[in-house]
């Protein structure tokens, strides 16, 4: 009910972040959405750091630390 999705559309990470943002106080909402976008950006970078079965540890390590910090911040905002 939160989103008007087309017949072939699926719920994305961005939809989930927007839904969670709709549940928090208005003063936290902008921060949550900004950090949520940062998480989506890092997730995209993390996805590009590996290819079928191969993981570039040096690239991935930094992204994982960033994602961990953002997840903690997002949880604190709730």
In tens, the pLDDT along 64-76 reads 787 788 778 777 7
pLDDT in tens, 23-66: 878 877 887 788 778 778 877 777 766 666 677 777 778 777 87
First vs last Cα of the chain: how many Å apart?
21
- What residues pair up with 51 in beta bridges, in sequence order? 54
- For 21-76, list the strands marked E by DSSP: 50-51, 54-55
pTM of the shown model: 0.57
What CA–CA distance (Å, rounded) separates 44 from 58? 16
């Amino acid at each position: 009910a939160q989103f008007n999705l087309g017949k072939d559309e699926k719920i994305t990470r961005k939809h989930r972040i927007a839904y969670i943002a709709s549940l928090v106080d208005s003063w936290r909402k902008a921060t949550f959405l900004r950090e949520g976008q940062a998480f989506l950006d890092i997730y995209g970078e993390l996805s590009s750091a590996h290819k079928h079965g191969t993981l570039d540890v040096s690239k991935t390590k930094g992204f994982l630390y960033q994602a961990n910090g953002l997840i903690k911040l997002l949880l604190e905002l709730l």
